[in-house]
């Protein structure tokens, strides 16, 4: 599962990295992105990559209303070609979601401990995703939404959760956008593998991240180890 992530970089940091066309005014670092929020997503348009703002939580074009997106923030790699919501999007509506880390909650007894997971080299990467557009007939406008594809967890993530997002570097990300994939003749398993554990790190963070209202750099900072306070005995 991927239910919260960060993109704590400037637009210039990813424009050259992903060979993006144009500019995106208002782009700013994010540290705690939650479902239903709008974020920039990379699409392939006329042989060029470009960013387009989209809402997280896929609303299929045939949906009766946009509330369907609340339950479609993730799509399982193993069943993409079985689900009507995703099957028709695989050939032509693949996308990349720029990020530099994501959160997962490790269960410790009755408590859940938030963890920040990122690449060891601290570089931006992208999640594999699918997108769609839904016509709001009342407003006469298009709603663009996306979902993040998940796969089985690697050895690092397995200690925290049994699922993880599909993560791409520049080369694999471009392959996801450009590849001649089709719902009838592709082997998704080859391109939707978990990233190797040795490329990733994870550390505990503050429970600040539990609230989407907190979107600051403090969210991704490691929790400091607290030394127990030694009680001073009264002098006799």
Distance CA 118, CA 8 (A): 11
Q: Which residue is catalytic, options 38, 50, 104, 218?
A: 104
Q: Assess contact for 176 and 168: CB atoms under 8 A.
A: yes
Distance CA 134, CA 65 (A): 9
Our answer to whether residue 78 is catalytic in this structure is no
- Give the sign of the dihedral formed by CA 72, CA 77, CA 205, CA 32: negative
Structure letter (DSSP) for residue 20: B
Our answer to whether residue 2 is catalytic in this structure is yes
Q: Which residue is catalytic, options 2, 78, 201, 219?
A: 2
Structure tokens at 45: 């348009």
Closest CA to 116 of 99, 97, 130: 99
**Alpha-helical segments (H) within the chain:** 11-15, 84-87, 155-158, 170-178
Sort 28 into a burial class: Cβ within 10 Å, 0-12 / 13-18 / 19+. Answer: exposed
Residues annotated as catalytic are 2, 104
């Amino acid at each position: 599962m991927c239910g919260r992530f960060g993109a704590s970089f400037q637009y210039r940091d990813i424009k050259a990295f992903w060979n993006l066309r144009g500019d995106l005014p208002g782009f700013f670092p994010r540290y705690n992105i939650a479902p239903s929020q709008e974020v920039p997503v990379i699409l392939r348009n006329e042989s060029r990559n470009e960013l387009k703002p989209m809402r997280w939580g896929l609303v299929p074009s045939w949906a009766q209303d946009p509330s369907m997106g609340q339950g479609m923030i993730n799509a399982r790699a193993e069943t993409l070609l079985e689900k009507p919501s995703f099957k028709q999007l695989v050939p032509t509506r693949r996308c990349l979601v720029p990020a530099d880390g994501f959160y997962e909650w490790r269960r410790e007894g009755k408590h859940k401990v938030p963890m920040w997971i990122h690449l060891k080299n601290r570089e931006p990467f992208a999640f594999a995703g699918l997108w769609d557009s839904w016509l709001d007939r009342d407003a006469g406008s298009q709603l663009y939404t996306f979902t993040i594809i998940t796969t089985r967890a690697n050895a690092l993530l397995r200690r925290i959760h049994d699922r993880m997002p599909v993560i791409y570097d520049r080369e694999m990300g471009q392959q996801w956008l450009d590849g001649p994939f089709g719902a009838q003749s592709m082997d998704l398993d080859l391109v939707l593998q978990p990233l190797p554990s040795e490329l990733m790190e994870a550390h505990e963070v503050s429970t600040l991240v539990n609230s989407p209202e907190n979107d600051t750099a403090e969210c991704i900072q490691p929790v400091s180890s607290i030394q127990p306070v030694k009680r001073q005995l009264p002098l006799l």
